Structure 1
């Protein structure tokens, strides 16, 4: 499968404290750029053995470019049908602009849907607010009926993305419970790498991860289908070896920004990660050079979790924070150690063997 992330608009109706975009360009992707981008990625999908293309439509807030979204899907459907390519769609939205027309479209095209929600009203509104400073929580949860309609019609589960920051980390367990109690079954948590995670906050993070893990495992043992990607990904890494730069972003994926520049997975202010342009195509030599990069940062050499750590291999984040593709982002490193230490203390020998066999089977089937 080939993965395309298309930035349809670089603008948003909100001003989240931790927004990775920083200052917005307030630009809309042109239809010519959309078409050329789709052509490039369909050409890559044709090379894949399974002839599949996964298209993620993002912003800013992509629903501000809803007409562009519909145009992109209709165009991609037609082009993929001509080439014998199976196409799948997903999007990440803040939920505030969602309406029935949009949801009917997502249902019809069988989108995978992800909504940003950081927790309860007081927690969510700490960081996710409109340009006038007012919180967005109520406008998101008001869409719960639409989300349930989507889940019933598609048989899919809407995912929630929440960001763990210094100003909400003390409510992490409560956040997991709140999102679960709202009826969501898929949760993707990510830590804010731009915060300065000093010792007091790391202690809070450690305590809250342990408490949230206990709640999660209890629900799993009760037979609940709740799936917390943050923990599940760490479990898989803990019991299997992880390659450096294992995602191979750039080889099987492209991120195309609103200006038509092609990057590995997100826009980075460095020409080394610019792997193409919609009017010129991909730059194979640059992609090959990135994929070949293999090294170990000196301070990682003696870490007992070295072969299980995916944090050290995210070369984009490493460069963005440290200016060095091999130097891991400190909070990602510490987060990994916190979770792995927790596994070591909480998973018994019998469970450990079961987990290891399970992930070995999973990897052999990939």
Structure 2
């Protein structure tokens, strides 16, 4: 018996029903259409008018695309809700196991002096008993993290400068080894790499640590931003990077850059510096409005439009490098492309809804206080304890994770229910950041559609969509590769 498949024309029907979608202006000629479960398409104003008025779609290729993406449905189709619910659940899978990233601020002492320091650091000569985490706080914090429901956890140690407290890092690893029975643990150390001895490097390699450091660009720029002792930090950092390469462990190192006003004219030099040191990607990061970065914003800051112009120059230069045979990625663009072209969520808490703060990350401060994010801890260091969830030594789990801070984040951190965001077609690829919005506007709800967080993210997402849909074939191929890595 032979089986015959229906012709594609058999699936075409002039009459159809609409399934829920949003639309927002993409450019002068096109609208961006998206669904809660991650499907999207770009339409002209004429095509959108036909769609919303449920007129016959004569362009059959477009008709089949809209049907396949569950933007329209015909009367005879099977109930789409189970399939769409499965897609939506996949997009929100990061919620299933609660917070998987646990940050331990071991000290606020630091051996660098950075012009944009977000944490208002203390001198490395400061009293360690006042500004370092105690063993009791560390032990209780590790135990709290291990009690989380997720089978995989990332434990990130930072400061200040984390390597000033390497005995605490060693103790934390030992306690995890003693207490952990079944969880997969990834260790991360955030460090400026300016003063790390050989024994400590060997320990980090032995225990498979990922190392996150800072590199703002070429020597003059990095040294202008970050001071070490009486000199710039670039020399000490790059010497340690060479040492790690000699140990064949450079693949465990990643770097972040922070964009200051001086960076804006140096996009090629910054990216070339990363490539020269052997990095395969860069995260183009703007200034955050916390700590010294806020205090000195009139000296080192810039309008959001200036950052967006800088970001696009960086992105275009990186794409051209790839076309010329130099593989290299911009990490933020890669995350957005992944959200656009795959069914999977990303682990990047800044692009999550519900927000990453509290739901994706928990931070244990050196004094035992617990916060839903690094940024909320930075605010506390400068006097605002609005997001203090409690203390690891005195608060119960219910007080910490069901208390007023988490309740507020649950209300203000879901962009599907925020005004303006709930109608924005870019919302499924963006995130919610009530901590930043509180810092900038005085309310965790912010001013969706008008505040800088929304403006920056929406314009970067639009920028990437345009390159995906209107760029040449090489550009599209490069971006798709980033999203699938």
TM-score by structure 2 length?
0.64
The equivalent of 1:24 in structure 2 is 122
- 5 Å matches for 1:250-261? 250-261=358-369
The structure with the larger Rg is 2
2:160 — aligned with what? 60
2:196 maps to 1:98:
yes
Shift of 1:15: 1.4
Alpha-carbon spacing, 1:167–1:68, altered in 2? closer, same or farther (3 Å): same
CA contact (8 A) 1:170 1:205 kept: no
8 A Cα contact 1:5 1:254, kept in partner: yes
Name the SS for the 1:209 alignment partner.
helix
Cα pair distance change 1:171/1:335, threshold 3 Å = farther
Are the counterparts in 1 of residues 281 and 329 from structure 2 also a CA contact under 8 Å? yes
- Which residue number in structure 1 is paired with residue 243 of structure 2? 146
Which residue of the partner structure matches residue 339 of structure 1?
460
Number of aligned residues? 351
Q: Is the 8 A contact 1:197 1:331 kept in 2?
A: no
**CA shift at 1:33, angstroms?**
0.6
The two structures have a TM-score, normalised by structure 1, of: 0.82
The equivalent of 1:40 in structure 2 is 144
Q: How big is the shift at 1:246?
A: 3.5
- In structure 2, relative to structure 1, the CA distance for the partners of 1:361 and 1:68 (3 Å cut) is closer
Aligned-residue offset at 1:163: 0.2
1:275 to 384, 389, 392: 389
* Deviation, structure 1 residue 13: 0.8
Residues 250 and 275 of structure 1 are in contact (CA less than 8 Å); yes or no, is this contact kept in structure 2?
A: no
Structure 1 pair 109/249, CA: closer, same or farther in 2 (3 Å)? Answer: same
- 2:438 is equivalent to residue 319 of structure 1: yes
Question: 8 Å contact 2:227–2:233 — kept in the other structure?
Answer: yes
How far does the alpha carbon of each residue in 1:142-182 deviate from its partner, in whole angstroms, 9 at most, with x for none? 122223145x24x8341111001223222133211211122
For the residue of structure 1 that corresponds to 2:307, the secondary structure is helix
SS of structure 2 residue aligned to 1:336: helix
Structure 2: which 5+ runs fail to align? 1-96, 290-296, 346-350
CA contact (8 A) 1:239 1:356 kept: no
Contact conserved, 2:215 with 2:257, CA < 8 A, in 1?
A: yes
Task: Quote the Cα distance in structure 2 between the aligned partners of 1:355 and 1:97.
Answer: 38
Provide the alpha-carbon RMSD of the alignment: 3.4
Q: Structure 1 residues 87, 65: closer, same or farther in 2, change over 3 A? A: same
- Kept in 1, the 8 Å contact 2:355–2:409? The answer is no
Shift of 1:272: 5.0
Distance 1:358 1:184, change over 3 A: closer
Are the structure 2 counterparts of residues 52 and 203 from structure 1 closer, same or farther at C-alpha, using a change threshold of 3 Å? closer
Q: Of the candidates 232, 257, 267, which is equivalent to residue 334 of structure 2?
A: 232
Tell me what 2:370 maps to. Answer: 262
Q: Distance in 2 between matches of 1:199 and 1:182?
A: 27
**Structure 1 position 180 matched with structure 2 position 288:** no
Change in CA separation of 1:199 and 1:114 when aligned onto 2, cut-off 3 Å: closer
- SS of 1:249 mapped into structure 2: helix
Contact 2:212 2:256 in 1 (8 A): yes
User: C-alpha displacement at 1:356, in angstroms?
Assistant: 10
For the residue of structure 2 that corresponds to 1:118, the secondary structure is: coil
Q: Which moved more, 1:162-171 or 1:30-39?
A: 162-171
Instruction: Give the counterpart of 2:110 among 12, 19, 22.
Output: 12
1:189 aligns with 2:284: yes
Query: Which residue pairs with 1:245 in the alignment?
Result: 353
State the distance in 1 between where 2:341 and 2:113 align.
39
| Alignment partners' CA distance in 1, 2:318 and 2:191 | 25
CA contact under 8 A between 1:262 and 1:275: conserved in structure 2?
yes
Flag structure 1 segments of 5+ consecutive residues without an equivalent. none
Distance apart, 1:342 and its partner CA: 3.1
Q: Take 2:481 and 2:204, find their aligned partners in 1: how far apart are those partners? A: 34
What is the DSSP-based 3-state SS (H/G/I as helix, E as strand, rest coil) of the residue aligned with 1:18? coil
Q: Structure 1 residues 361 and 91 mapped into 2: Cα distance closer, same or farther (>3 Å)?
A: closer
Greater mean alpha carbon deviation, residues 229-238 or residues 85-94: 229-238
* 1:274-315 residue CA offsets vs partner (Å, 9 max, x unmatched): 2332112432322355234446665657766344333xx111
Contact 2:223 2:234 in 1 (8 A): yes
Secondary structure of 1:142's aligned partner = helix
1:94 aligned counterpart, secondary structure = coil
